[in-house]
Protein backbone atom coordinates (compact mmCIF):
# COMPACT_ATOMS: atom_id res chain seq x y z
CA UNK A 1 0.00 0.00 0.00
CA UNK A 2 1.36 3.41 -0.98
CA UNK A 3 2.28 5.86 1.75
CA UNK A 4 1.85 9.50 0.82
CA UNK A 5 4.94 11.47 1.84
CA UNK A 6 5.23 15.25 1.89
CA UNK A 7 6.50 16.80 -1.33
CA UNK A 8 10.06 18.08 -1.37
CA UNK A 9 10.40 21.76 -0.55
CA UNK A 10 10.33 24.11 -3.55
CA UNK A 11 13.71 24.65 -5.12
CA UNK A 12 15.14 27.99 -6.23
CA UNK A 13 13.22 29.79 -9.00
CA UNK A 14 14.47 28.98 -12.50
CA UNK A 15 16.12 31.49 -14.73
CA UNK A 16 13.98 31.83 -17.87
CA UNK A 17 15.96 33.22 -20.78
CA UNK A 18 16.12 33.12 -24.56
CA UNK A 19 17.11 29.84 -26.15
CA UNK A 20 16.14 28.14 -22.90
CA UNK A 21 16.06 24.74 -24.58
CA UNK A 22 19.85 24.68 -24.40
CA UNK A 23 19.55 24.58 -20.61
CA UNK A 24 17.70 21.29 -20.85
CA UNK A 25 20.35 19.56 -22.95
CA UNK A 26 22.66 17.34 -20.95
CA UNK A 27 20.77 14.66 -18.99
CA UNK A 28 20.03 12.73 -22.18
CA UNK A 29 23.67 12.88 -23.24
CA UNK A 30 24.80 11.49 -19.89
CA UNK A 31 22.36 8.61 -20.35
CA UNK A 32 23.40 8.06 -23.97
CA UNK A 33 26.98 7.17 -23.04
CA UNK A 34 25.58 4.27 -21.02
CA UNK A 35 24.50 2.52 -24.18
CA UNK A 36 27.58 3.19 -26.27
CA UNK A 37 29.84 1.62 -23.66
CA UNK A 38 32.33 -1.25 -24.20
CA UNK A 39 29.59 -3.77 -23.43
CA UNK A 40 27.73 -2.44 -26.45
CA UNK A 41 30.92 -2.69 -28.49
CA UNK A 42 31.23 -6.38 -27.68
CA UNK A 43 27.53 -7.10 -28.30
CA UNK A 44 27.40 -5.11 -31.53
CA UNK A 45 30.65 -6.52 -32.93
CA UNK A 46 29.44 -10.04 -32.11
CA UNK A 47 26.10 -9.25 -33.81
CA UNK A 48 27.72 -7.81 -36.93
CA UNK A 49 30.56 -10.32 -37.29
CA UNK A 50 28.32 -13.38 -36.77
CA UNK A 51 25.05 -12.29 -38.41
CA UNK A 52 25.88 -9.41 -40.73
CA UNK A 53 23.24 -6.69 -40.90
CA UNK A 54 20.37 -8.97 -39.79
CA UNK A 55 20.26 -7.86 -36.13
CA UNK A 56 20.12 -4.11 -36.80
CA UNK A 57 16.37 -4.27 -36.11
CA UNK A 58 17.12 -4.95 -32.45
CA UNK A 59 18.96 -1.63 -32.16
CA UNK A 60 15.92 0.13 -33.60
CA UNK A 61 13.42 -1.67 -31.36
CA UNK A 62 15.58 -1.22 -28.26
CA UNK A 63 16.04 2.49 -28.95
CA UNK A 64 12.30 3.05 -29.39
CA UNK A 65 11.65 1.29 -26.09
CA UNK A 66 14.43 3.29 -24.49
CA UNK A 67 12.99 6.64 -25.58
CA UNK A 68 9.61 5.78 -24.03
CA UNK A 69 11.13 4.46 -20.81
CA UNK A 70 13.62 7.29 -20.36
CA UNK A 71 11.01 9.97 -21.03
CA UNK A 72 8.65 8.32 -18.55
CA UNK A 73 11.22 7.95 -15.77
CA UNK A 74 12.32 11.57 -16.28
CA UNK A 75 8.70 12.54 -15.57
CA UNK A 76 9.08 10.93 -12.16
CA UNK A 77 12.05 13.15 -11.33
CA UNK A 78 10.41 16.29 -12.71
CA UNK A 79 7.02 15.82 -11.07
CA UNK A 80 8.14 14.54 -7.65
CA UNK A 81 11.70 15.68 -7.07
CA UNK A 82 12.61 12.05 -6.37
CA UNK A 83 14.84 9.77 -8.38
CA UNK A 84 13.62 6.22 -9.05
CA UNK A 85 15.55 4.81 -6.10
CA UNK A 86 14.25 7.42 -3.66
CA UNK A 87 10.69 6.89 -4.88
CA UNK A 88 10.97 3.12 -4.47
CA UNK A 89 12.19 3.59 -0.90
CA UNK A 90 9.48 6.12 -0.12
CA UNK A 91 6.46 4.38 -1.61
CA UNK A 92 7.15 0.63 -1.41
CA UNK A 93 7.30 -1.69 1.62
CA UNK A 94 10.83 -1.70 3.04
CA UNK A 95 11.53 -5.36 2.27
CA UNK A 96 10.36 -5.02 -1.33
CA UNK A 97 12.20 -1.78 -2.09
CA UNK A 98 15.46 -3.16 -0.67
CA UNK A 99 15.14 -6.35 -2.70
CA UNK A 100 14.48 -4.44 -5.93
CA UNK A 101 17.25 -1.92 -5.31
CA UNK A 102 19.69 -4.74 -4.49
CA UNK A 103 19.09 -6.15 -7.97
CA UNK A 104 19.52 -2.65 -9.39
CA UNK A 105 22.90 -2.35 -7.63
CA UNK A 106 23.79 -5.69 -9.22
CA UNK A 107 22.92 -4.22 -12.62
CA UNK A 108 25.11 -1.17 -11.90
CA UNK A 109 28.00 -3.48 -10.99
CA UNK A 110 27.49 -5.53 -14.19
CA UNK A 111 27.50 -2.31 -16.19
CA UNK A 112 30.63 -1.00 -14.48
CA UNK A 113 32.30 -4.36 -15.08
CA UNK A 114 31.79 -4.05 -18.82
CA UNK A 115 32.86 -0.42 -18.92
CA UNK A 116 35.97 -0.80 -16.77
CA UNK A 117 36.94 -3.96 -18.64
CA UNK A 118 36.52 -2.23 -21.99
CA UNK A 119 38.66 0.67 -20.86
CA UNK A 120 41.32 -1.77 -19.63
CA UNK A 121 41.27 -3.56 -23.00
CA UNK A 122 41.81 -0.21 -24.76
CA UNK A 123 44.77 0.58 -22.46
CA UNK A 124 46.16 -2.88 -23.25
CA UNK A 125 45.82 -2.31 -27.00
CA UNK A 126 47.36 1.18 -26.92
CA UNK A 127 50.00 0.85 -24.20
CA UNK A 128 50.30 -2.90 -23.46
CA UNK A 129 49.12 -2.35 -19.87
CA UNK A 130 47.95 -5.67 -18.32
CA UNK A 131 44.16 -5.86 -18.06
CA UNK A 132 44.02 -6.28 -14.24
CA UNK A 133 46.23 -3.21 -13.73
CA UNK A 134 44.30 -1.32 -16.41
CA UNK A 135 41.03 -2.12 -14.64
CA UNK A 136 42.28 -0.63 -11.39
CA UNK A 137 43.55 2.46 -13.22
CA UNK A 138 40.23 2.84 -15.08
CA UNK A 139 38.18 2.65 -11.88
CA UNK A 140 40.46 5.13 -10.11
CA UNK A 141 40.41 7.61 -13.01
CA UNK A 142 36.62 7.51 -13.33
CA UNK A 143 36.15 7.80 -9.57
CA UNK A 144 38.43 10.85 -9.54
CA UNK A 145 36.35 12.47 -12.28
CA UNK A 146 33.17 11.91 -10.26
CA UNK A 147 34.74 13.28 -7.08
CA UNK A 148 35.93 16.48 -8.76
CA UNK A 149 32.97 17.34 -10.98
CA UNK A 150 29.45 18.60 -10.69
CA UNK A 151 26.65 17.42 -12.99
CA UNK A 152 26.99 20.38 -15.31
CA UNK A 153 30.76 20.03 -15.54
CA UNK A 154 30.44 16.29 -16.16
CA UNK A 155 27.93 16.87 -18.94
CA UNK A 156 30.49 18.93 -20.87
CA UNK A 157 33.15 16.26 -20.52
CA UNK A 158 30.75 13.48 -21.44
CA UNK A 159 29.46 15.37 -24.48
CA UNK A 160 33.06 15.66 -25.65
CA UNK A 161 33.67 11.94 -25.17
CA UNK A 162 30.48 11.05 -27.07
CA UNK A 163 31.58 13.33 -29.92
CA UNK A 164 34.93 11.52 -30.14
CA UNK A 165 33.22 8.11 -30.29
CA UNK A 166 30.70 9.28 -32.90
CA UNK A 167 33.34 10.89 -35.12
CA UNK A 168 35.47 7.76 -34.82
CA UNK A 169 32.75 5.53 -36.21
CA UNK A 170 31.89 8.00 -38.96
CA UNK A 171 35.55 7.77 -39.92
CA UNK A 172 35.38 3.96 -39.86
CA UNK A 173 32.27 3.99 -42.05
CA UNK A 174 34.00 6.22 -44.60
CA UNK A 175 36.66 3.55 -45.14
CA UNK A 176 34.41 0.59 -45.92
CA UNK A 177 31.83 -0.47 -48.48
CA UNK A 178 28.36 -0.81 -46.93
CA UNK A 179 25.38 -2.57 -48.50
CA UNK A 180 23.00 0.24 -47.56
CA UNK A 181 19.83 -1.32 -49.07
CA UNK A 182 20.35 -4.45 -46.96
CA UNK A 183 21.24 -2.41 -43.88
CA UNK A 184 18.14 -0.22 -44.31
CA UNK A 185 15.87 -3.25 -44.59
CA UNK A 186 17.49 -4.88 -41.56
CA UNK A 187 16.76 -1.81 -39.42
CA UNK A 188 13.01 -2.43 -39.72
CA UNK A 189 12.57 -6.15 -40.55
CA UNK A 190 12.99 -8.48 -37.53
CA UNK A 191 15.07 -11.63 -38.00
CA UNK A 192 16.18 -14.23 -35.47
CA UNK A 193 18.90 -16.36 -37.10
CA UNK A 194 19.61 -19.73 -35.45
CA UNK A 195 21.74 -19.30 -32.34
CA UNK A 196 21.37 -15.51 -32.27
CA UNK A 197 19.07 -15.16 -29.24
CA UNK A 198 21.87 -14.63 -26.66
CA UNK A 199 23.33 -11.88 -28.86
CA UNK A 200 19.86 -10.34 -29.33
CA UNK A 201 19.42 -10.26 -25.55
CA UNK A 202 22.88 -8.78 -25.04
CA UNK A 203 22.05 -6.01 -27.55
CA UNK A 204 18.78 -5.37 -25.68
CA UNK A 205 20.56 -5.22 -22.32
CA UNK A 206 23.29 -3.03 -23.79
CA UNK A 207 20.80 -0.46 -25.11
CA UNK A 208 17.96 -0.49 -22.55
CA UNK A 209 20.17 -0.52 -19.47
CA UNK A 210 18.46 -0.65 -16.04
CA UNK A 211 20.98 1.60 -14.33
CA UNK A 212 20.30 4.33 -16.91
CA UNK A 213 16.65 4.50 -15.85
CA UNK A 214 17.77 5.22 -12.28
CA UNK A 215 20.42 7.66 -13.52
CA UNK A 216 18.10 9.71 -15.74
CA UNK A 217 15.53 10.26 -13.01
CA UNK A 218 18.35 11.41 -10.70
CA UNK A 219 19.98 13.78 -13.16
CA UNK A 220 16.75 15.40 -14.32
CA UNK A 221 15.51 16.24 -10.81
CA UNK A 222 18.96 17.51 -9.81
CA UNK A 223 18.37 20.50 -12.08
CA UNK A 224 16.38 22.00 -9.15
CA UNK A 225 13.39 23.56 -10.88
CA UNK A 226 10.48 25.00 -8.94
CA UNK A 227 8.16 22.02 -8.28
CA UNK A 228 5.25 24.25 -7.26
CA UNK A 229 5.15 26.17 -10.55
CA UNK A 230 3.00 24.18 -12.98
CA UNK A 231 4.14 26.24 -15.97
CA UNK A 232 7.79 25.42 -15.26
CA UNK A 233 7.04 21.72 -14.82
CA UNK A 234 5.15 21.59 -18.13
CA UNK A 235 7.97 23.42 -19.92
CA UNK A 236 10.54 21.03 -18.49
CA UNK A 237 8.47 18.01 -19.51
CA UNK A 238 8.31 19.36 -23.04
CA UNK A 239 12.00 20.12 -23.45
CA UNK A 240 13.09 16.97 -21.64
CA UNK A 241 11.47 14.84 -24.35
CA UNK A 242 13.38 16.72 -27.05
CA UNK A 243 16.63 16.23 -25.13
CA UNK A 244 15.88 12.52 -24.66
CA UNK A 245 14.89 11.95 -28.30
CA UNK A 246 17.91 13.84 -29.65
CA UNK A 247 20.32 11.95 -27.40
CA UNK A 248 18.80 8.52 -28.05
CA UNK A 249 18.99 9.06 -31.83
CA UNK A 250 22.72 9.73 -31.43
CA UNK A 251 23.04 6.48 -29.50
CA UNK A 252 21.02 4.58 -32.13
CA UNK A 253 23.30 5.89 -34.89
CA UNK A 254 26.53 4.95 -33.08
CA UNK A 255 25.29 1.47 -32.11
CA UNK A 256 24.11 0.89 -35.67
CA UNK A 257 27.49 2.02 -37.00
CA UNK A 258 29.23 -0.56 -34.80
CA UNK A 259 27.17 -3.41 -36.26
CA UNK A 260 27.55 -2.08 -39.79
CA UNK A 261 31.35 -1.82 -39.49
CA UNK A 262 31.54 -5.38 -38.13
CA UNK A 263 29.17 -6.68 -40.83
CA UNK A 264 30.97 -4.96 -43.69
CA UNK A 265 34.42 -6.11 -42.57
CA UNK A 266 34.41 -9.25 -40.43
CA UNK A 267 31.16 -10.92 -41.59
CA UNK A 268 31.94 -10.23 -45.23
CA UNK A 269 35.22 -12.13 -44.91
CA UNK A 270 33.81 -14.88 -42.67
CA UNK A 271 35.82 -13.75 -39.61
CA UNK A 272 34.43 -14.68 -36.18
CA UNK A 273 35.44 -12.20 -33.49
CA UNK A 274 35.95 -13.43 -29.93
CA UNK A 275 37.97 -10.54 -28.43
CA UNK A 276 38.03 -6.76 -28.83
CA UNK A 277 41.80 -6.98 -29.28
CA UNK A 278 41.15 -9.32 -32.22
CA UNK A 279 38.65 -6.87 -33.67
CA UNK A 280 41.19 -4.06 -33.47
CA UNK A 281 43.89 -6.23 -35.01
CA UNK A 282 41.65 -7.49 -37.81
CA UNK A 283 40.72 -3.95 -38.82
CA UNK A 284 44.34 -3.13 -39.60
CA UNK A 285 44.74 -5.30 -42.73
CA UNK A 286 41.11 -4.85 -43.77
CA UNK A 287 40.76 -1.05 -43.67
CA UNK A 288 44.17 0.26 -42.66
CA UNK A 289 46.30 0.89 -39.58
CA UNK A 290 44.72 4.26 -38.84
CA UNK A 291 41.31 2.64 -38.40
CA UNK A 292 42.58 0.24 -35.74
CA UNK A 293 44.12 3.10 -33.76
CA UNK A 294 40.91 5.09 -34.00
CA UNK A 295 39.03 1.99 -32.82
CA UNK A 296 41.20 1.69 -29.69
CA UNK A 297 41.08 5.41 -28.86
CA UNK A 298 37.30 5.51 -29.25
CA UNK A 299 36.99 2.43 -27.03
CA UNK A 300 39.09 4.15 -24.36
CA UNK A 301 36.93 7.29 -24.35
CA UNK A 302 33.70 5.28 -24.47
CA UNK A 303 34.87 3.31 -21.46
CA UNK A 304 35.97 6.40 -19.54
CA UNK A 305 32.72 8.28 -20.01
CA UNK A 306 30.41 5.32 -19.39
CA UNK A 307 32.35 4.14 -16.33
CA UNK A 308 31.67 7.54 -14.77
CA UNK A 309 27.93 7.29 -15.39
CA UNK A 310 27.83 3.73 -14.02
CA UNK A 311 29.41 5.01 -10.81
CA UNK A 312 26.87 7.82 -10.62
CA UNK A 313 24.04 5.32 -11.06
CA UNK A 314 25.42 3.06 -8.33
CA UNK A 315 25.79 6.04 -6.01
CA UNK A 316 22.25 7.22 -6.79
CA UNK A 317 20.70 3.79 -6.18
CA UNK A 318 22.54 3.31 -2.88
CA UNK A 319 21.79 6.83 -1.63
CA UNK A 320 18.11 6.30 -2.47
CA UNK A 321 18.03 3.48 0.10
CA UNK A 322 18.52 6.22 2.71
CA UNK A 323 15.96 8.65 1.21
CA UNK A 324 18.78 10.78 -0.20
CA UNK A 325 19.60 12.17 -3.66
CA UNK A 326 22.99 11.54 -5.23
CA UNK A 327 25.71 13.80 -3.85
CA UNK A 328 29.32 12.63 -4.18
CA UNK A 329 30.22 14.56 -1.03
CA UNK A 330 27.70 12.51 0.98
CA UNK A 331 28.92 9.20 2.53
CA UNK A 332 26.02 7.11 1.18
CA UNK A 333 26.62 8.25 -2.40
CA UNK A 334 30.36 7.66 -2.03
CA UNK A 335 29.76 4.17 -0.68
CA UNK A 336 27.46 3.43 -3.62
CA UNK A 337 30.18 4.48 -6.09
CA UNK A 338 32.86 2.51 -4.22
CA UNK A 339 30.73 -0.64 -4.02
CA UNK A 340 29.99 -0.43 -7.74
CA UNK A 341 33.62 0.00 -8.78
CA UNK A 342 35.27 -2.34 -6.26
CA UNK A 343 32.83 -5.19 -6.95
CA UNK A 344 33.30 -4.75 -10.71
CA UNK A 345 37.10 -4.77 -10.49
CA UNK A 346 37.13 -7.83 -8.22
CA UNK A 347 34.96 -9.76 -10.68
CA UNK A 348 37.23 -8.75 -13.57
CA UNK A 349 40.14 -10.48 -11.83
CA UNK A 350 38.22 -13.76 -12.22
CA UNK A 351 37.03 -13.26 -15.82
CA UNK A 352 38.91 -15.72 -18.03
CA UNK A 353 37.62 -14.40 -21.38
CA UNK A 354 37.11 -10.60 -21.36
CA UNK A 355 35.04 -10.55 -24.58
CA UNK A 356 32.62 -13.21 -23.30
CA UNK A 357 32.53 -11.35 -19.99
CA UNK A 358 31.40 -8.22 -21.80
CA UNK A 359 28.63 -10.01 -23.70
CA UNK A 360 27.50 -11.95 -20.63
CA UNK A 361 27.30 -8.77 -18.53
CA UNK A 362 24.92 -7.25 -21.07
CA UNK A 363 22.74 -10.38 -20.96
CA UNK A 364 22.55 -10.00 -17.17
CA UNK A 365 21.28 -6.47 -17.62
CA UNK A 366 18.45 -7.72 -19.84
CA UNK A 367 17.51 -10.25 -17.12
CA UNK A 368 17.20 -7.50 -14.46
CA UNK A 369 15.51 -5.06 -16.83
CA UNK A 370 11.88 -6.27 -16.34
CA UNK A 371 12.19 -5.65 -12.58
CA UNK A 372 13.15 -2.01 -13.14
CA UNK A 373 10.55 -1.50 -15.88
CA UNK A 374 7.64 -2.78 -13.78
CA UNK A 375 8.86 -0.77 -10.76
CA UNK A 376 8.85 2.31 -12.95
CA UNK A 377 5.38 1.56 -14.33
CA UNK A 378 3.98 1.05 -10.82
CA UNK A 379 5.35 4.34 -9.52
CA UNK A 380 4.67 6.56 -12.54
CA UNK A 381 1.11 5.21 -12.91
CA UNK A 382 0.18 6.03 -9.30
CA UNK A 383 -1.64 9.32 -8.62
CA UNK A 384 -0.39 9.06 -5.00
CA UNK A 385 3.16 9.39 -6.35
CA UNK A 386 2.76 11.50 -9.50
CA UNK A 387 -0.40 13.50 -8.78
CA UNK A 388 -1.93 14.87 -11.98
CA UNK A 389 1.16 13.75 -13.95
CA UNK A 390 0.45 10.03 -13.47
CA UNK A 391 0.52 7.92 -16.66
CA UNK A 392 -2.63 8.02 -18.74
CA UNK A 393 -4.18 4.79 -20.00
CA UNK A 394 -2.44 4.89 -23.39
CA UNK A 395 1.02 5.46 -21.91
CA UNK A 396 0.45 2.79 -19.27
CA UNK A 397 -0.54 0.31 -21.99
CA UNK A 398 2.55 1.21 -24.03
CA UNK A 399 4.82 0.70 -21.02
CA UNK A 400 3.18 -2.63 -20.20
CA UNK A 401 3.70 -3.79 -23.79
CA UNK A 402 7.40 -2.88 -23.52
CA UNK A 403 7.66 -4.72 -20.20
CA UNK A 404 5.88 -7.69 -21.76
CA UNK A 405 8.26 -7.80 -24.76
CA UNK A 406 11.33 -7.70 -22.52
CA UNK A 407 9.90 -10.39 -20.23
CA UNK A 408 8.99 -12.59 -23.20
CA UNK A 409 12.49 -12.32 -24.63
CA UNK A 410 13.95 -13.26 -21.25
CA UNK A 411 11.69 -16.31 -20.99
CA UNK A 412 12.63 -17.25 -24.55
CA UNK A 413 16.32 -16.97 -23.64
CA UNK A 414 15.76 -19.16 -20.57
CA UNK A 415 13.91 -21.80 -22.61
CA UNK A 416 16.62 -21.73 -25.28
CA UNK A 417 19.29 -22.18 -22.59
CA UNK A 418 17.45 -25.10 -20.95
CA UNK A 419 16.81 -26.86 -24.24
CA UNK A 420 20.44 -26.54 -25.37
Report d(CA 376, CA 5) in Å as an integer. Answer: 18
pLDDT of residue 21: 39
Q: Would you call 211 helix, strand, or coil by DSSP?
A: helix
Residues 6+ apart with CB under 8 A from 286: 265, 266, 269
Residues 6+ apart with CB under 8 A from 381: 390, 391, 396, 399
Give pTM, 2 decimals: 0.81
Q: How many helices (H) and strands (E) does the chain have?
A: 18, 0
- Residues of the chain whose pLDDT is less than 70? 1-37, 149-159, 161-162, 206, 221-235, 237-239, 282, 285-289, 417-418, 420
pLDDT of residue 249: 87
pLDDT of residue 95: 95
Closest CA to 4 of 103, 80, 114: 80
Could you say which architecture CATH assigns to the domain 21-419?
Answer: Up-down Bundle (1.20)
H/E run at residue 182: helix 180-188
Amino acid sequence: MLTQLPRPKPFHPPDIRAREFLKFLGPGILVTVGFIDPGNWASNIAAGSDYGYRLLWMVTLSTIMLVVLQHNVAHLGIATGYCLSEAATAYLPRWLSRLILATAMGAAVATALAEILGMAIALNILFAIPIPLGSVAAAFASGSLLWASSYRYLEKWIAGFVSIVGISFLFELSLIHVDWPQATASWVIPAVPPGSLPIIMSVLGAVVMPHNLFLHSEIIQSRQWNLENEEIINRQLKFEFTDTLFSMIIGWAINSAMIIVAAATFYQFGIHISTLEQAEGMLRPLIGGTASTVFAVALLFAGFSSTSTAGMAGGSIFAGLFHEPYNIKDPHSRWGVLITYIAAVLIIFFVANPFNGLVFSQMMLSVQLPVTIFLQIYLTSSPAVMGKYANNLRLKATLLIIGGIVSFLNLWLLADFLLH
